[in-house]
A and B are shown apart, each in its own frame.
Chain A
């Protein structure tokens, strides 16, 4: 498809039109921060947001998600809950887009997670290019996520008067044709786009002192590094860093039954490797009892383990874990400390 443009005034009508057939989830202001919420009024949409507290993965992997209902009588019956909500996520940044691509792999490569994939099939992603870093914690430039060529259905880039719209999939093209009133980009607009994309590059800083591709090998040699103890001393094990991470996907599953033991529900909810009980098993054993071991596990996941399993680094550089940590533990600083001190 040729590059299209949407007048800025056309965003609200597009969202409004989409809302007829979809749940539209987009950034909204919450106090001094932003969160992805279901749009009820397109005027509340904040495409100028910096970052959100939780990433948009919550659309695909809800914080609490019903998997099944069951009855208990003589012959117990279990029924999957597979209803999905057709959804458009409007305004994801490219780091989060990459996060979703990684989750897609996680939930489908070895095992098809029916619940996730069902919702994923009915979810369309309209992303937006960041023309400057969301804040000083972003390190998307290091992680190669400060822009995107794929992973979106539609991708927006803001110019002075219009948004350039690039379609990444046929579904995206159809959405735009059906709900939007875009026109083809003029030569001048294409030039402005190139100028904006070029001008953005120097505004982003590298935060790692080394190439991210070196992470797996570097971490391989760092299992007994003293930094883990240092992090363990400072870490409160509050779990916030994993809760806010777009690539964390761990969950727990629990059944709830009614008082009379006649019926119940099975739900899955987000879990965190930073919590003490996470690696505890029957019999009282805990594989990662100390906070140091848990912090090491988190960073190993981001820089090594996920790469070994899915051929992609498990961190997209969104900076959320750094922003959220009340103990000021920074994955960037930790990686740099290991790099700077290596022999």
Chain B
């Protein structure tokens, strides 16, 4: 695996995003030099000008917000043996998907682009898994650099990516943080995917679920608990939808408003 010709070729792509996840990767490449012993980056707009098309693994940052972007995703899928969704936008649709739950997509578009609204093509936000098959995801806004390294390693070994399926509370308790919810402050920790080391509660901020929701969350119980903590229904919904607004069935509804 150390020999030059056996390095796995990887490429990075971005869609609607802030590029923060790619920046985290630039960081990771500096702190985990051994990454470059096992992979060769052939395309990475954020960090290099060359463009190779012979990649085996594609890391895709950002959500899909335009019909015309689908074509690019299809091409990536065709070329890559493995497609990895990188960060919250690609994984869950991220904050971009908040537009899906606005009353009218057209109004939102006008609000953002003013009288030039019609110049900009837009459709409801989708995580990339809604457009193409995705083999793995690295969650978070932004991603955790240690987790990125771990996933690369696991994927190269042919193992499961190793993203936790348990909630943030587990990591929060192991850190012995004073629980925010028990002090009446909102936190989505009980239903949000761990892996971040409960970083927000550790610094006194409630979790907003940037790493997505765990499989089979007890959403009703979570609503009850937030209600108990004194949040209004609107505040509860705002928490739930911050990073997790995207739902398949909204797309159709949202599309009707444009």
A275 within 8 A of B: yes
A32 with B178, Cβ < 8 A, contacts A238-B169, A239-B169, A277-B165 known:
yes
Q: For the complex, what is the distance from the CA of A258 to the CA of B37, rounded to whole Å?
A: 11
CB of B179 within 8 A of CB of A237, answer no
Interface flags for B175-195 (1: CB within 8 Å of A; 0: not) read 011110111000001110000
Q: For the complex, what is the distance from the CA of A153 to the CA of B28, rounded to whole Å?
A: 48
B32 within 8 A of A: yes
Query: Which residues on B sit within 8 Å (CB–CB) of A326?
Result: 179, 181-182, 190, 225
A54 with B176, Cβ < 8 A, contacts A243-B170, A259-B35 known:
yes
B44 within 8 A of A: no
A63 with B174, Cβ < 8 A, contacts A233-B221, A259-B37 known:
yes
CB of B38 within 8 A of CB of A259, answer yes
Q: For the complex, what is the distance from the CA of A238 to the CA of B190, rounded to whole Å?
A: 5
Q: For the complex, what is the distance from the CA of A52 to the CA of B182, rounded to whole Å?
A: 15
CB of B173 within 8 A of CB of A54, answer yes
CB of B215 within 8 A of CB of A53, answer no
CB of B225 within 8 A of CB of A275, answer no
Q: For the complex, what is the distance from the CA of A33 to the CA of B175, rounded to whole Å?
A: 13
Interface flags for A313-343 (1: CB within 8 Å of B; 0: not) read 0000000000110110000000000000000
Interface flags for B143-179 (1: CB within 8 Å of A; 0: not) read 0000001000100010000000111011001101111
Q: For the complex, what is the distance from the CA of A260 to the CA of B174, rounded to whole Å?
A: 30
CB of A239 within 8 A of CB of B166, answer yes
A140 within 8 A of B: no
A183 within 8 A of B: no
A327 with B221, Cβ < 8 A, contacts A259-B153, A276-B215 known:
yes
B74 to chain A, nearest CB (A): 30
CB of A237 within 8 A of CB of B218, answer yes
Query: Which residues on B sit within 8 Å (CB–CB) of A257?
Result: 153, 157
CB of B178 within 8 A of CB of A239, answer no
- Classify the interface of chain B: helix, strand, loop or mixed: helix
Counting chain B residues whose Cβ lies within 8 A of the other chain, the interface size class is: 35 or more
A3 within 8 A of B: no
CB of A53 within 8 A of CB of B178, answer yes
Query: Which residues on A sit within 8 Å (CB–CB) of B35?
Result: 259
A214 within 8 A of B: no
Interface residues of A in 227-247 (CB under 8 A from B): 233-240, 243-244
Q: For the complex, what is the distance from the CA of A237 to the CA of B153, rounded to whole Å?
A: 30
A276 with B221, Cβ < 8 A, contacts A53-B178, A244-B173, A270-B174 known:
no
A272 within 8 A of B: yes
A31 within 8 A of B: yes
B132 within 8 A of A: no
Looking across the interface, which residue of chain B has its beta carbon closest to that of A234?
B221
B187 to chain A, nearest CB (A): 8
Query: Which residues on A sit within 8 Å (CB–CB) of B215?
Result: 276
CB of A275 within 8 A of CB of B166, answer yes
Query: Which residues on B sit within 8 Å (CB–CB) of A237?
Result: 167, 190, 216, 218
Give me the interface of A with B, judged by CB distance under 8 Å.
Answer: 30-33, 35, 52-54, 63, 233-240, 243-244, 257-261, 270, 272, 275-277, 291, 323-324, 326-327
The 3 closest A-B pairs by CB, nearest first: A238-B169, A259-B34, A236-B190
